[in-house]
Structure 1
Amino acid sequence: MAIDTTGFGPANQQLRIGRISHLASKTPAAYFGMVLGLGGLGNAWRAAEQTWGIGNGFSEWILSLAALVWAVLVLLFAAKALLAPDRLVAEINHPVQCCFVGLIGVATMLIASAAEPYSYAAAFTLFGIGFTFTACFAVWRTGGLWRGERDHATTTAVLYLPTVAGSFVTAMVAASLGYRDWGQLAFGAGIFSWLAIESILLHRLLIGPMTPPALRPTLGVQLAPAPVGAVAYISVSGGTPDVFVHALIGYGILQLVVLLRLSQWLREAGAVMGFWAFSFGATSIATAPLRLLGHGDNAAISVVAPVTFILANVLVLGLAVMTVWLLLSGRMYGKSAP
């Protein structure tokens, strides 16, 4: 009997498919937070290079890494849909994990923004795909939430992701592609969704039961709306510094300080991938002041910009080191999601 020595026989193919299926089934949508963090840091470096003349293209290396991570995660989710659809359905129906699914479209739009200087056609295509996914998922998920009967304990900051993050990133990328008026509509959808959801979340945090350690990293999303909204507003308004964008940055700084005050309490969750939830807000709070400096702002913003830029770099570097350690130690997939 002939023995297959090529490694491409039916048994080996079945083994490879099984391994891919297993890995895909254990990869949660929350891992797209890595793309948002890396993409956000790349955008912060682009702004720094334009404003301060530093970096010498370092931003493009970061954005290339973000694109690579995005491509791997997209392939894994495609494999999950084909090989482990039951796990995907369970994730979509989960009261907390479900909202992270919206990051697939948001991350795709961020990669479109990264690609825009190199190929408008590629950027426009990726934006169209990302926006379509984001809009459809946001409407579907919001409609489900409006039916009620939701467990109050599962109300976390991830509720911002489908509508608020989706709308603000839509506004940013639409404006960069030359559709500022459409971006303004998306900005409106994002800011009023944020204000409505914020009141619900604060009600839950203030008078509900204490958030358990496993869910505490989701508070990182609480940092994002104000600074991401500031970047979106700069994009759709033309970038002229005004009191409104300063107010958004100021509220973001308040959120940052409160979260720093809670750092010991947050660390009780341990070293987990969920802490990437902090990255998009942190990188946006670095990007917005830099963009304003590039449009002639000064005084307070000139003091804020270097501090937030350094903090964003330290945070993302720390998260990257943690991720590599979790991967090499076999703990990256110890818990599938927050």
Structure 2
Amino acid sequence: MQILPEESVLQSPSIPPASAALRPPREASVRNLPVNLFASVMGLSGLALAWRIAHQGLGAPAWIGEAIGALAVGVFLLVACSYLLKFARHREAVAAEFHHPVSGNFFGTIVISLLLLSAIVGPYQPAAAQALWSVGLLATLVLCFVVVSRLLKGQVDASHAVPAWIIPCVATLDIPVTGAQMPMAWTSEVNLLAAAIGAVLALVLFGMIVSRLVHHHPLPAGMAPSLMILVAPFAVGFLAYSNIVGEIDRFAALLFYFALFMFAVVAPKVFRPGVPFSPAWWAIGFPMAALANAALKYAAHRASAPLWLLAMLLLGALSLALAVLTVRTVQIALNGKLLA
């Protein structure tokens, strides 16, 4: 399959280029490292957490989840160090990426990665987990504030309302998902604040994005994987809500089943021939991981064999998809196409 540079993947015909600073030169350069590569950390972290639940509920080997979690930490360190190098050497490229109407939303993958990694390291280093979560909490709220303020300035092209818009705002829902067990006295109120922000903004933006998809031209093929992001508000919402109320009630079940419905709708549009491979494919990782985690938790609550089968199928599909993405990403990293 063809490998596309980040800019061609992230823009539709009506979305302007970020700037000339984002146009990659012919030689490979860290200048071209896409911020959406942090989505790989989100996907791997979500997969690790899903396998932990599978260990508790199904007796799956514990080492699988822990090994994937260690891989997620390693990938985060590698990508973070590389992106810091990009920031040090090419600040204008980072600034252009941040202010771009599409790629700027992928900075939410950085803060979500911090939140998820706090859950990964929590059983081993509680103090480090609390520090990661606190930094991720602050960064998430600040980023969400900046993004919403930018939208409310007005005169935003409706055709720019793409699924990536959801990322910075749904990131706030990951605060209660990963912070339910944090011991700080102020945690419960912050979790409520974050859930309130994320829930309302997710519904507003979801409506805007669906309206754009219905009334405007289809997304370019390179942006098709981002359609999977439409699953995230409801799957993550299920996890956040059940953590806050301390149980899985019927409203939580409604969120889970709608997430499952959205997955059934968008999956054929994502997993189809002709969609080129690029780092943008990592956009499928965390929404699928959130759905797998939700399915495993709901199956454990209902103690239903069909639900356990569904959860195992989703976990298997997620594991296979991320294994393929990992191999393909390593391939383009080694042949220089990732940074070209």
Q: TM-score range by the shorter chain?
A: 0.7 to 0.9
Partner of 2:23: none
Q: Aligned pair 1:109/2:115, yes or no?
A: yes
- Residue-by-residue CA offset, 1:203-262 (whole Å, 9 max, x unaligned): 100011121223222212112111121122222222x23211211111111111112232
Q: Is the 8 A contact 2:33 2:338 kept in 1?
A: no
In the alignment, the residues of structure 2 paired with residue 278 and residue 170 of structure 1 have an alpha-carbon distance, to the nearest angstrom, of: 20
Q: Aligned pair 1:279/2:271, yes or no?
A: no
Q: 1:154 to 1:267 in 2, by over 3 A?
A: farther
Q: Aligned pair 1:118/2:124, yes or no?
A: yes
- Pick the aligned partner of 1:222 from 212, 230, 237: 230
- Residue-by-residue CA offset, 1:186-219 (whole Å, 9 max, x unaligned): 2222111111111100110001112122322221
Q: Is the 8 A contact 2:224 2:270 kept in 1?
A: no
In the alignment, the residues of structure 1 paired with residue 284 and residue 124 of structure 2 have an alpha-carbon distance, to the nearest angstrom, of: 29
Give the secondary structure class of the aligned counterpart of 1:176: coil
Partner of 1:53: 59
Measured after TM superposition, the shift of residue 80 of structure 1 is 2.1
Give the secondary structure class of the aligned counterpart of 2:155: coil
Q: Is the 8 A contact 2:52 2:62 kept in 1?
A: no
| Bigger mean CA offset, 66-75 vs 38-47 | 66-75
Q: Is the 8 A contact 1:92 1:98 kept in 2?
A: yes
RMSD across aligned positions (CA)? 1.8
In the alignment, the residues of structure 1 paired with residue 319 and residue 153 of structure 2 have an alpha-carbon distance, to the nearest angstrom, of: 41
In the alignment, the residues of structure 1 paired with residue 229 and residue 113 of structure 2 have an alpha-carbon distance, to the nearest angstrom, of: 15
Partner of 2:218: 210
- Pick the aligned partner of 1:194 from 182, 185, 202: 202
Measured after TM superposition, the shift of residue 97 of structure 1 is 0.4
In the alignment, the residues of structure 2 paired with residue 333 and residue 246 of structure 1 have an alpha-carbon distance, to the nearest angstrom, of: 43
- TM-score, normalised by the number of residues in structure 1: 0.86
Larger Rg: 1
**4+ residue runs of structure 1 moved beyond 6 angstroms?**
none
Partner of 1:7: none
* Greater relative contact order, per chain length (Cα 8 Å cut-off, separation 6+): 2
Q: Aligned pair 1:253/2:260, yes or no?
A: yes
In the alignment, the residues of structure 2 paired with residue 278 and residue 237 of structure 1 have an alpha-carbon distance, to the nearest angstrom, of: 28
- Residue-by-residue CA offset, 1:18-46 (whole Å, 9 max, x unaligned): xxxx7432112100000010000000001
- Residue-by-residue CA offset, 1:164-184 (whole Å, 9 max, x unaligned): 1x1111111221314344323
Output the amino acid matched with 1:241.
I
Partner of 1:6: none
Give the secondary structure class of the aligned counterpart of 2:119: helix
Q: Aligned pair 1:243/2:238, yes or no?
A: no
Output the amino acid matched with 2:239.
V
In the alignment, the residues of structure 2 paired with residue 237 and residue 54 of structure 1 have an alpha-carbon distance, to the nearest angstrom, of: 28
- TM-score, normalised by the number of residues in structure 2: 0.86
In the alignment, the residues of structure 2 paired with residue 48 and residue 269 of structure 1 have an alpha-carbon distance, to the nearest angstrom, of: 31
The within-5 A match list for 1:83-102 is 83-102=89-108
- Pick the aligned partner of 1:129 from 132, 135, 145: 135
Q: Aligned pair 1:149/2:155, yes or no?
A: yes
In the alignment, the residues of structure 2 paired with residue 230 and residue 319 of structure 1 have an alpha-carbon distance, to the nearest angstrom, of: 26
Give the secondary structure class of the aligned counterpart of 1:331: coil
Query: Any unmatched runs of 5+ in structure 1?
Result: 1-21
Partner of 1:79: 85
Give the secondary structure class of the aligned counterpart of 2:76: helix
Partner of 1:9: none
Partner of 1:176: 181
In the alignment, the residues of structure 1 paired with residue 84 and residue 230 of structure 2 have an alpha-carbon distance, to the nearest angstrom, of: 29
Measured after TM superposition, the shift of residue 94 of structure 1 is 0.8
